[in-house]
Chains A and B, each alone.
Chain A
């Protein structure tokens, strides 16, 4: 399976932007890049996904490198409710493998 690499943890101040990186150097041409986040005691929830172009939605933005070997999830103004574990996964037909994700701490 194609694998992703993320930092174990990151910190941000409230109301500041947060850039969460993900490396996926073995991505194949048909793999989509999906991001999920998991709040305590809940299942993961979908955040955003993309294939080649940058994407924006109400939750976040996704910036994808031109060679697609890395991507960055951007939270434009972090809130305390954004504190969670963020997972970047490569998504294709069939099983989707999650890594250990990045634990985001947001300081007031």
Chain B
């Protein structure tokens, strides 16, 4: 079946602009995660959605970052007033149940000029 899909795959934006990144999880997966990965570094947790529970936003680096998820489907990560330090690959992952493995998309590479 289809895996986790992220769009766009690449995004170049000017400093100060807003960007919206999209994640389509695997159908039936109740949990969804966003991570940020800077060049040559590990994954940095941003936010976690589980069903209809309130999301865990503890990893969002500033109030310029926000994310939404409609039910158990699509999620969007929005970065307002982008800065050069926001340049990174943004990865989305979903999982079916408590201990199911995470399934990752291939990410959106964001470049802020």
A residues lining the B interface (CB < 8 Å): 32, 34, 36, 41-46, 49, 85, 87, 91, 93-101
Contacts and interface: CB of A to CB of B under 8 A. Distances in A.
B58 A43 contact: no
Given A42-B106, A46-B103, A93 B45 contact: no
B70 interface: no
B45 A43 contact: no
Nearest to B43: A98
Contacts of B79: none
B65 interface: no
Contacts, number: 52
Contact of B58 (A87, A95, A99, A100): A95
Candidate in B4, B35, B45, B102 with the most chain A CB atoms within 10 angstroms: B102
Contact of B48 (A32, A44, A95): A95
B56 A93 contact: no
Contacts of B42: 85, 87, 98-101
Given A49-B101, A93-B50, 13 more contacts: A36-B102, A43-B104, A43-B106, A44-B91, A49-B99, A85-B42, A91-B99, A93-B98, A94-B56, A95-B56, A95-B59, A98-B44, A98-B45
Nearest to B91: A43
Nearest to A32: B99
Nearest to B6: A43
Contacts of A101: 42
Nearest to B103: A46
Nearest to B48: A95
A8 to B, nearest CB: 11
